[in-house]
Structures are given as C-alpha cells and as structure tokens.
Amino acid sequence: MTAPHPAPDRRSLRRAYTASLSGTALEYYDFAAYSVAAATIFGDLFFPSGDKLVGTMAAFSTYAIGYLARPLGGFVFGRLGDVIGRKKVLVYTLLLAGPVPVMRDDSAFVLVFPFVAANPWGMSLFITAPCFMWLAGLRYRDGTSRLILLTILLTALPILFYYGIGYRQFGYRYSLDFLPLLFYLLLRNYRMERGGLTTGFKALVVASAVLNLHLFAGHFIWHVS
C-alpha cells in the first residue's frame, strides 16, 4: 500500500491562489487594454498608412502574436522555472529587451531579410549573452561573491535609469561597466559548484555567438537600421 498524501497546508494554498489570481488578472488587463488601444489609436500611431483598415489589422496582428507566443514562452520558461525556480525566471523575463523585427514597410506586417536587427535602444545582456542566466542557479554564500554582487548592483542602478529609459538600457552597450565582474562571478562560482562546462552551456554560448554575428552583420554589412 502507498502511504497517504499529507494534507496540503492552507496557508500555502492561499498564497498559491492569491499569486495565480493576481498574475492572471494582470495578464488579462494587459491584453484587454492593448485590444482597446489597437482598435482605437495604435493603427494610426504605429502603422500610418493611407488605409485605416490595414493599420488596424496590423495593430491587431501584433496582439495575435502575443497569444501565439504564450505556448512557446510557457514551454521554455516553464521548464526553466522548474529547474532554477519561478521567482528567478520572473526576474529574468522582466529584464528582457531583444532585437527588433525588420519589416518590409510600415503598413505590411511582413518580415524581410535579415528578419531581426539590433535594438537601437540597446538589448538585454541575457539576449546577447544568455549564458549569464546560469547565474540564477548558482549560490552566493561566501563573502567574495556577495561583495561582487553588491558592486554590480551599485554600478547597474544608475545605468538602469540613465536618460529615463529604464531597463532598456540594461544591454550590451550599457553593461560594459560591470560585465567583467559579472563574467568573473559566473566562471568562479560555476566552476566551484559544477566543475567543467556542460554540453548545454557550450551550446548556448555557440548559439548566442551566432546571433550576435547576425546582428553585427545586419548593422555593419547589410546596414539595417
């Protein structure tokens, strides 16, 4: 016979219910507010073509992409949350600012080569060098690690609010001030806890290098702005 499962803690159930309800309500509000704005102002604001119907359809197409991306995001970040923790993955996703799509023109929602270009506002460090997401799964119990983290935080805070653009400056151009410390912390603690580099770590480094070469070529060779 199998042992009976222990009764769930009511406090944990209330916390899970509150977190689920607040997250779902915020997500619904986000999509509801965007749908209203897409039907009223986004067509003229972001897709200023001669035909208002085309502009409105283009605005709603970005709304549809959000729903199409949800299963993919759930598959990737849900699995990542099971491995390193949901709170850490939430912070990771909040710091994402990726490349921008390359469209044929302002009215047609059609991607053209090279399909994505470097974001002129700067891209997230976790996009250009996603190997740094392993920092979320490491432990920082010694004084050296905590001192490095404090130095990185004190360096990053004024950069995050530079010119009032906030987290969008947390990218490859504006992380150079603390990137050496971040890189040293990753190598130091990863080696202390896990030894050599895993196959997944190496594959992620290669994939990010290919993406960065593509963005570099788009800016300096194909002159995509």
Dihedral of alpha carbons 144, 150, 154, 160, sign: positive
pTM (two decimals): 0.58
Express each pLDDT in 204-224 by its tens digit. Answer: 889 888 988 898 888 888 888
Helix and strand counts by DSSP (H, E) for the chain:
8, 2
| C-alpha span between 102 and 120 (Å, rounded) | 13
Q: CB 180: neighbour CB atoms within 10 A? A: 9
The predicted structure's pLDDT at residue 170: 46
Express each pLDDT in 163-189 by its tens digit. Answer: 444 444 445 556 777 888 988 999 899
The predicted structure's pLDDT at residue 3: 57
Express each pLDDT in 9-44 by its tens digit. Answer: 778 778 777 877 877 887 788 788 888 888 888 878
183: alpha, beta or left? (left if phi > 0; alpha if psi -120 to 50):
alpha
Express each pLDDT in 67-118 by its tens digit. Answer: 787 787 778 778 877 877 777 777 666 667 778 888 777 656 677 888 888 8
Burial 195-216 (b: 16+ CB within 10 A, else e): eeeeeeeeebeeebeebbebbe
